[in-house]
């Protein structure tokens, strides 16, 4: 019996290896791509991390980028929808910041073409961080004694505190937030013991039922595209009154809210599946609480397939193998304002 079990395991691994080759499974690169006008440097990353964690970039002094994109966890906030200043909530779930450098566009509706563009938005969004303008942000940062030196270290001795430099620093930091070397990565690099038997079976099922048609590439977010050229899919593709009544997916018009083009109704950026086991709840509105339910919903609404419990369990096991080790995040001391504070919005 033991020999038979071993033989079956070997066959499963061989089958998955064949699937892997035909599907062109790829490991996550060990370094994120970066634009020519914003090369990643240690000083820039240091400044970007401080800005990312500083709640003084918000009108109330209570909300930082990290509030919704917690780098000490899964890179988001595990809430159905993000909460900003004064407890205001938006209409969408915060996407993870981990591996966001591998997205060709940012936000669920793809309205930002780069991490730099993305970093501009939340600071002045009245629901998120609530500052009236970036001029107000810059004025505040200039009153914090240590910030001018941090900007000079990052951008040169003649550098000033500016909106562009601030978002470049934040984006540079975010490009260090990647998680290669997951069990999946080790497996496709040749370590055939990195996945257990169920994960191998799940990998095969993931391909066979069609999940990989959208969630392909190293980040499982679609084809590798030039920055700014997003990969979008309609969601839901197939109508289902039961799931729509339960989860209200169609209440959000998706990319249409940006372009006002009829063909963009209910179109969304295909999100990464990296670390997806850590980022519940799921979908653009955070309506689905568990990963197994998310797999079931996706199969029905995107592929018009009813998966068995075994198929769902196997795919979930595989998705768990996409969680990679997180680079250590040491919390910096934020620059102080000795003897004074700001007039925050109440």
The answer to whether 268 and 254 have CB atoms below 8 angstroms apart is: yes
Supply the DSSP symbol for 26: -
Whether 117 is covered by a domain: the verdict is yes
Band of pLDDT at residue 23, cut at 50, 70 and 90:
low
Please report how the helices 309-320 and 291-303 are oriented relative to each other, as an axis angle in degrees rounded to 10.
110
| 27-46 b/e (C-beta count within 10 Å ≥ 16 → b) | bbeeebeeeeebebeebbbb
Containing H/E element for 5? helix 2-23
Domain boundary residue, one of 153, 174, 195: 174
| CA atoms of 322 and 33, how far apart (whole Å) | 20
- Per residue in 333-346, pLDDT (tens digit) is 999 999 999 999 98
Residues 33-44 have a mean pLDDT of 97
| CA atoms of 98 and 177, how far apart (whole Å) | 5
By residue range, what is the domain housing residue 271? 15-31+181-320
Q: Is the pLDDT of residue 2 over 60?
A: no
The answer to whether residues 99 and 133 belong to one domain is yes
Residue of 70, 80, 96 lying closest to 271 (CA atoms): 96
Q: Is the pLDDT of residue 38 over 70?
A: yes
Q: What is the mean pLDDT of the chain?
A: 94
Task: Name the 3-class secondary structure at 97.
Answer: coil
Residue 66's CATH number:
1.10.760.10
Whether 261 is covered by a domain: the verdict is yes
The answer to whether residues 273 and 152 belong to one domain is no
Domain boundary residue, one of 133, 158, 174: 174
Residues 291-307 have a mean pLDDT of 98
The answer to whether 102 and 269 have CB atoms below 8 angstroms apart is: no
The answer to whether residues 96 and 198 belong to one domain is no
Whether 149 is covered by a domain: the verdict is yes
| CA atoms of 113 and 229, how far apart (whole Å) | 7
Q: Known catalytic residues?
A: 128
User: What local confidence, expressed as pLDDT, does residue 153 receive?
Assistant: 98
The answer to whether residues 65 and 117 belong to one domain is yes
| 254-289 b/e (C-beta count within 10 Å ≥ 16 → b) | bbbeeeeeeebebbbbbbbbbbbbbbbbbbbbbbbe
Residues 166-186 have a mean pLDDT of 98
User: What local confidence, expressed as pLDDT, does residue 6 receive?
Assistant: 41
The answer to whether residues 55 and 143 belong to one domain is yes
The answer to whether 219 and 102 have CB atoms below 8 angstroms apart is: yes
Whether 92 is covered by a domain: the verdict is yes
Q: Is the pLDDT of residue 21 over 60?
A: no
Whether 229 is covered by a domain: the verdict is yes
Which has the higher per-residue pLDDT, 4 or 132?
Answer: 132
Q: Is the pLDDT of residue 276 over 80?
A: yes
Q: How many separate domains does the chain show?
A: 2
User: What local confidence, expressed as pLDDT, does residue 24 receive?
Assistant: 84
Domain boundary residue, one of 123, 158, 174: 174
Q: Which stretch of 23-32, 36-45, 63-72, 311-320 has the lowest confidence by average pLDDT?
A: 23-32
Residue of 119, 134, 117 lying closest to 59 (CA atoms): 134
The answer to whether residues 313 and 196 belong to one domain is yes
Residues 10-33 have a mean pLDDT of 67
User: What local confidence, expressed as pLDDT, does residue 117 receive?
Assistant: 97
| CA atoms of 194 and 185, how far apart (whole Å) | 9
User: What local confidence, expressed as pLDDT, does residue 19 receive?
Assistant: 47
Whether 57 is covered by a domain: the verdict is yes
Phi-psi region of 254 (alpha: psi -120 to 50; beta: other; left: phi over 0): left
Q: Is the pLDDT of residue 14 over 60?
A: no
| Cα 236 to chain centroid, rounded | 20
For 58, counting Cβ atoms within 10 Å of its Cβ (0-12 exposed, 13-18 middle, 19+ buried), the class is buried
- Per residue in 88-112, pLDDT (tens digit) is 999 999 999 999 999 999 999 999 9
Residues 51-61 have a mean pLDDT of 98
User: What local confidence, expressed as pLDDT, does residue 1 receive?
Assistant: 44
The answer to whether residues 46 and 22 belong to one domain is no
The answer to whether residues 212 and 293 belong to one domain is yes
Containing H/E element for 232? strand 232-234
Q: Is the pLDDT of residue 307 over 60?
A: yes
User: What local confidence, expressed as pLDDT, does residue 227 receive?
Assistant: 86
Containing H/E element for 174? helix 163-174
Q: Is the pLDDT of residue 228 over 90?
A: no
Whether 327 is covered by a domain: the verdict is no
The answer to whether residues 90 and 147 belong to one domain is yes
Name residues whose C-beta falls within 8 Å of residue 214's C-beta, 6 or more positions apart in sequence: 222, 231, 233, 270, 302
Whether 7 is covered by a domain: the verdict is no
Q: Nearest-5° angle of CA 101, CA 74, CA 109?
A: 50
The answer to whether residues 104 and 75 belong to one domain is yes
% of the chain exceeding 90 in pLDDT: 92
The answer to whether residues 249 and 265 belong to one domain is yes
| CA atoms of 154 and 134, how far apart (whole Å) | 19
Residues 155-173 have a mean pLDDT of 98
The answer to whether residues 236 and 191 belong to one domain is yes
Band of pLDDT at residue 251, cut at 50, 70 and 90:
very high
User: What local confidence, expressed as pLDDT, does residue 17 receive?
Assistant: 44
Q: Is the pLDDT of residue 75 over 80?
A: yes
% of the chain exceeding 70 in pLDDT: 93
User: What local confidence, expressed as pLDDT, does residue 346 receive?
Assistant: 83
Q: Is the pLDDT of residue 15 over 70?
A: no
| CA atoms of 325 and 109, how far apart (whole Å) | 28
Residue 81 has a CB neighbour count (10 Å cut-off) of 18
User: What local confidence, expressed as pLDDT, does residue 22 receive?
Assistant: 53
In angstroms and rounded to an integer, the radius of gyration of the C-alpha atoms of the chain is 22
| CA atoms of 254 and 91, how far apart (whole Å) | 11
| CA atoms of 44 and 153, how far apart (whole Å) | 8
């Amino acid at each position: 019996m033991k020999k038979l079990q071993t033989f079956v395991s070997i066959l499963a691994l061989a089958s998955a290896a064949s699937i892997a080759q035909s599907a062109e499974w790829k490991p996550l690169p060990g370094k994120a791509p970066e634009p020519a006008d914003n090369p990643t440097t240690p000083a820039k990353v240091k400044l970007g991390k401080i800005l990312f964690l500083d709640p003084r970039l918000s009108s109330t002094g209570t909300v930082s980028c990290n509030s919704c994109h917690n780098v000490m966890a899964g890179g988001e906030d595990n809430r159905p929808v993000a909460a900003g200043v004064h407890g205001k909530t938006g209409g969408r779930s915060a996407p993870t910041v981990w591996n966001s450098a591998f997205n060709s566009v940012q936000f669920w509706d793809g309205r930002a073409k780069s991490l730099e563009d993305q970093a501009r938005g939340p600071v002045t969004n009245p629901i998120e961080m609530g500052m009236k303008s970036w001029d107000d942000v810059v004025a505040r940062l200039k009153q914090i004694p240590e910030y001018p030196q941090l900007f000079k270290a990052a951008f040169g001795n003649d550098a000033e505190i500016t909106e562009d430099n601030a978002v470049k620093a934040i984006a540079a930091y975010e490009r260090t937030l990647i998680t290669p070397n997951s069990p999946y990565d080790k497996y496709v690099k040749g370590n055939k013991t990195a996945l257990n038997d169920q994960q191998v079976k799940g990998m095969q099922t993931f391909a066979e039922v069609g999940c990989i048609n959208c969630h392909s590439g190293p980040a499982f977010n679609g084809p590798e595209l030039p920055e700014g050229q997003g990969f979008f899919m309609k969601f839901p593709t197939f109508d289902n009154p039961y799931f729509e009544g339960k989860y209200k997916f169609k209440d959000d018009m998706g990319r249409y809210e940006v372009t006002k083009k009829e063909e963009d109704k209910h179109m969304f950026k295909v999100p990464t599946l990296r670390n997806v086991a850590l980022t519940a709840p799921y979908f653009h509105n955070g309506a689905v609480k568990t990963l197994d339910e998310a797999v079931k919903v996706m199969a029905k609404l995107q592929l018009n397939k009813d998966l068995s419990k075994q198929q769902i369990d196997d795919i979930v096991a595989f998705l768990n193998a996409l969680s990679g080790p997180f680079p250590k995040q040491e919390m910096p001391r934020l620059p102080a304002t000795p003897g004074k504070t700001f007039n925050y919005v109440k």
